[in-house]
A = this chain, B = another copy of it.
Amino acid sequence: MTKPVGKQDFPVSNARRYLEPGPVVLITSKHSDESNIMTLGWHTILAFSPSMVGCMISEDNYSHQLIKQSRECVINLPTTELTDKVVGVGNTSGAEIDKFSTFGLTPEKARLVSAPLIQECHANFECRLHDDALVDSYNFFIFEIVAAHVALQPAYPETLHYTGDGIFMVSGNHVDKRSLFSERLL
């Protein structure tokens, strides 16, 4: 496997570049001595600054309680090289296995939160729970991204986008429509 190299600090206000297209992400969490990874496709950017993202994390997931109690997580962006691991993480429970060792994913120390980064992922977004108002009613966590680390190459990594039924869309080409935009919207 090619490990992402040269990860650098990235402006948290521009996390949308990687998350807004809707990729499947891997969420890491840690509370006391327990840590875990889960696969998630239900997230949305909510604001640029502060950098806010909302995630629907079902209470059926072992990670739900770890995040609710620790009030932190990391959103990790896998590329298609990790497809089978992403599926494996999504089809197993952290209550039964250690997903880091089972799937050969390497935890790395984050800068501002206790949840680990996944070394093999293209980008890592460290998050603190900003608002739990909708956690009990919708399992919807509103996080603030407080630090970001991104591999600078490739500029547009090949990401996975879930459609249900075991089928993933893989990100394709990029098209530049800047010439049609108002300056204030760029």
Contact = CB atoms under 8 A, between A and B. Distances in A.
A176 interface: yes
Contact of A182 (B54, B91, B138): B91
Contacts of A20: 22, 41-42, 161-164
A163 to B, nearest CB: 5
Interface stretch (A2-10, A30-38, A80-88): A80-88
A42 B52 CA distance: 11
Contact of A176 (B22, B138, B158, B166): B166
Interface string A162-178: 11111111111111111
Copies of this chain assembled into the complex: 2
A44 interface: yes
A142 B20 CA distance: 18
Contacts of A90: 185
Given A17-B163, A166-B181, A171-B172, 17 more contacts: A17-B164, A18-B163, A20-B41, A20-B164, A47-B56, A47-B138, A54-B140, A84-B180, A87-B177, A91-B180, A166-B177, A168-B174, A168-B175, A168-B177, A169-B172, A169-B174, A172-B173
